[in-house]
Structure 1
Amino acid sequence: MTVLVVTNDFPPRQGGIETFVRALCDELPDPVVFTSHTSADKSYDRTLDFPVIRDRTSMLLPTPRVTRRAVQLLHEYDADRVLFGAAAPLGLMGPALRQAGAQRIVALSHGHETWWASLPATRQALRRIGDSADAVTTVSAWCEQRIARALSPKATIERLTPGVDTARFFPGCGGDEVRERLGLRGPVVACVSRLIPRKGQDTLIRAWPRVLAAVPDAVLLLVGGGPDRHRLETLAKPLGDAVRFTGAVPWQDLPPYVDAADVFAMPTRTRRFGLEPEALGIVTLEAAATGKPVVVGDSGGTADTVRHGETGYLVDPYNPVATAVRLIELLTDPGRAQAFGRAGRAWVEAEWTWARSGAKLRGLLDV
């Protein structure tokens, strides 16, 4: 049974959704991907063992032309299952693909569908998407609560969480080499994420003077690139080398940077009057898999990624003092930090595997 995957979120673009969709493709027996064009996509696509068809545009939208192309690919590859990498807006093509012969349609939802559920016009569109799919999936309990109220009673909503590749993210996966290369001698708190306001790197910088007062040789390592870098560098300038910026790091090279930390921290927050939440935060689970205690901002579905007081802490992402208190606690109590790290690794190995996610998806698609 061939599955046509229709998505805007696919490598070589980097991001949590891209990682999610790409990994799910490996769990499907015979996927065909229809996605948008991006830089360096041809060389990436040559590394895959399934076909990827790129549209000429940099963003797929459910226009008549794109819908006709999706229908054509459904017939060309004799596909009878459809997976939308993001429910909104691509799921609006569901009725046309159903009419063209799709037997099962599953639409993945992430974070942005929650604001679709909040606004009148987009709420109606989301309802149509839910009615045309056999299942709409959500990545967290918080997302499910927000999206479910916009769907009609006949819609089916299921939890489908991402997994963690514990063969890539594990204790000792290269952190010593990163620390040596970057000259990191003292305790390290790392945040691995795009530099955007929602991820809360500025809260970490504002917390850092308090951390340094308790742990003078501590270093804050901000891993990633993004549009907020200049503002963050300006904010961190008075702290000198106590705050380090690595710039963008390729996805395949990220595990050693996580492993280089003593504590992982990402005080992510909800912005834009609730319309820009953190749906889950897979990088937090990757850090837990690497054996790191985590300090995470309480936003959207992030509570699903940490067992508060067991694998790490949830904090108020707008409160640098509260964030500093938790960081200091873990940096000055290595025994507790290591116990949290071991508990996090065991939890991810038991409940956050791609095999588990793949089995759930195959069941929803009936393949």
Structure 2
Amino acid sequence: MRKTLIVTNDFPPRPGGIQAFLHNMALRLDPERVVVYASTWKRGREGAEATAAFDAEQPFTVVRDRTTMLLPTPRVTRRAAGLLREHGCRSVWFGAAAPLGLMGPALRRAGAERLVATTHGHEAAWAQLPGSRALLRRIGESTDTITYLGEYTRSRIASAVTPAAAARMVQLPPGVDEKTFHPDSGGPAVRAALGLTDRPVVVCVSRLVPRKGQDTLIRALPAILARVPETVLLVVGGGPYERDLRRLADSLGVAPSVRFTGAVPWADLPAHFGAGDVFAMPCRTRRGGLDVEGLGIVYLEASATGLPVVAGDSGGAPDAVLTGETGWVVHGAPPPLAARESADRIVTLLQDAELRRRMGARGRAWVEEKWRWDTLAERLRSLL
């Protein structure tokens, strides 16, 4: 029986989009054929208890390293090779190609027959810097397949690896659970709880960090309120940028029209998407192209919920939008242009219920056609 060793830093209970991607894929593989080797979420009793409780619920074997960050050191590589042999694994899936894919040659010598390395946004950044570009090339040479999220990440990573490695690249984006994210996910109850039942709602679900563009939405609010006066911006998620966002809303005089929910449990996210009339996250590229959006699964989750989307033009975010059909892509920067474009698109949607309905329905159908987890998991099984 061919087993797969998944080697990753990105695994729950550590929160994040990549973590959810890896976990959802692992759950759709045969649990008798999966062994996960992952880092520890965080040190201390609370982190250890949360990790142990999560691991005990999984249908497959999870082995935790003592470190909070796996790196391709000799010790970690020996541990991975030992697990490969102990469990009789013949294939390896690196949850993030960089840097764990550098262990490829050693795991090949230990008996791995198939090596698959998945890339996200940060590998596209690696492709731009000489030192990390060379390491990415080594990963491409030593693995059987490098996967990519969309055209943006594919083109940049392909430029860093050999032509032979580029030819072996296969698209493997995260999927959407269309049974969880759907138009009847409980949005009205969230609106009622927040006192927003009769108000137009623009919702943004994401970590609160500068790249995501929540500040652009706040800067756009004065123009939106001038044309749709009762609009509320519902900011769902937690993160280090919240204090700055609150200060910005105060300085622009729009604080009464912005609601911050803080971090929301994953099980409650579909209802929070459903609380919106429009989903908007005008993400932007930062740090000279080193901080970009890899794909933006939240746009697809919003589409599955039946919402039109307004996305930023950072990295692979446009890959998650059918322009003019499921929503629009706007400039993520500079701030004045981004705010003006975002306001115009959002107002157009808020003022046209039929357009919202049509874009939401097209987005839902697109998710069902292309982005279902089961379809993408089958692609992973074939690669392994």
Percent identity of equivalent pairs: 56
Aligned pair count? 365
Residue of structure 2 equivalent to 1:165: 177
1:311 touches 1:340 (CA, 8 Å); kept in 2? yes
Root mean square deviation, CA, Å: 0.8
Where does structure 1 lack aligned partners over 5 or more consecutive residues? none
Residue of structure 1 equivalent to 2:227: 214
Q: 2:146 aligns to what SS in structure 1?
A: strand
CA–CA distance in structure 2, aligned partners of residues 335 and 13 of structure 1: 40
Within-5 A mapping of 1:114-129: 114-129=124-139
Q: 2:117 aligns to what SS in structure 1?
A: strand
Q: 1:314 aligns to what SS in structure 2?
A: strand
Q: CA deviation at 1:163?
A: 1.0
CA–CA distance in structure 2, aligned partners of residues 128 and 135 of structure 1: 13
CA–CA distance in structure 1, aligned partners of residues 268 and 358 of structure 2: 26
1:269 corresponds to which of 273, 284, 307: 284
Q: Provide the TM-score with structure 2 as the length reference.
A: 0.94
CA–CA distance in structure 2, aligned partners of residues 300 and 291 of structure 1: 24
Residue of structure 1 equivalent to 2:105: 95
CA–CA distance in structure 1, aligned partners of residues 267 and 99 of structure 2: 29
Residue of structure 2 equivalent to 1:356: 375
Runs of 4+ in 1 over 2 A off after TM superposition: none
Residue of structure 1 equivalent to 2:362: 343
CA–CA distance in structure 2, aligned partners of residues 273 and 234 of structure 1: 26
Q: 1:89 aligns to what SS in structure 2?
A: helix
Amino acid corresponding to residue 183 of structure 2 in structure 1: P
Residue of structure 2 equivalent to 1:105: 115
Residue of structure 2 equivalent to 1:31: 34
Q: CA deviation at 1:275?
A: 1.0
Residue of structure 2 equivalent to 1:205: 218
Higher helix share: 2
2:246 touches 2:255 (CA, 8 Å); kept in 1? no
CA–CA distance in structure 2, aligned partners of residues 281 and 75 of structure 1: 37
Within-5 A mapping of 1:27-66: 27-29=28-30, 30-38=33-41, 39=47, 40-66=50-76
CA–CA distance in structure 2, aligned partners of residues 115 and 218 of structure 1: 37
1:14 touches 1:251 (CA, 8 Å); kept in 2? no
Within-5 A mapping of 1:274-353: 274-318=289-333, 319-353=338-372
Q: 2:36 aligns to what SS in structure 1?
A: strand
Amino acid corresponding to residue 130 of structure 1 in structure 2: G
CA–CA distance in structure 1, aligned partners of residues 173 and 100 of structure 2: 20
2:177 touches 2:372 (CA, 8 Å); kept in 1? yes
Q: 1:105 aligns to what SS in structure 2?
A: strand
Amino acid corresponding to residue 177 of structure 1 in structure 2: A
CA–CA distance in structure 1, aligned partners of residues 24 and 34 of structure 2: 12
Residue of structure 2 equivalent to 1:82: 92
Amino acid corresponding to residue 314 of structure 2 in structure 1: S
Q: 2:21 aligns to what SS in structure 1?
A: helix
Where does structure 2 lack aligned partners over 5 or more consecutive residues? 42-46
CA–CA distance in structure 1, aligned partners of residues 321 and 163 of structure 2: 32
CA–CA distance in structure 1, aligned partners of residues 131 and 173 of structure 2: 28
2:269 corresponds to which of 254, 263, 267: 254
CA–CA distance in structure 2, aligned partners of residues 28 and 104 of structure 1: 16
CA–CA distance in structure 2, aligned partners of residues 229 and 288 of structure 1: 25
Deviation digits for residues 154-184 of structure 1, max 9, x if unmatched? 2121111111000100001111111111111
CA–CA distance in structure 1, aligned partners of residues 13 and 24 of structure 2: 13
1:189 touches 1:221 (CA, 8 Å); kept in 2? yes
Residue of structure 1 equivalent to 2:15: 14
CA–CA distance in structure 2, aligned partners of residues 46 and 179 of structure 1: 35
CA–CA distance in structure 1, aligned partners of residues 70 and 21 of structure 2: 18
CA–CA distance in structure 1, aligned partners of residues 113 and 382 of structure 2: 13
Answer yes or no: is 1:183 the counterpart of 2:195. yes
Q: CA deviation at 1:112?
A: 0.2
Q: Provide the TM-score with structure 1 as the length reference.
A: 0.98
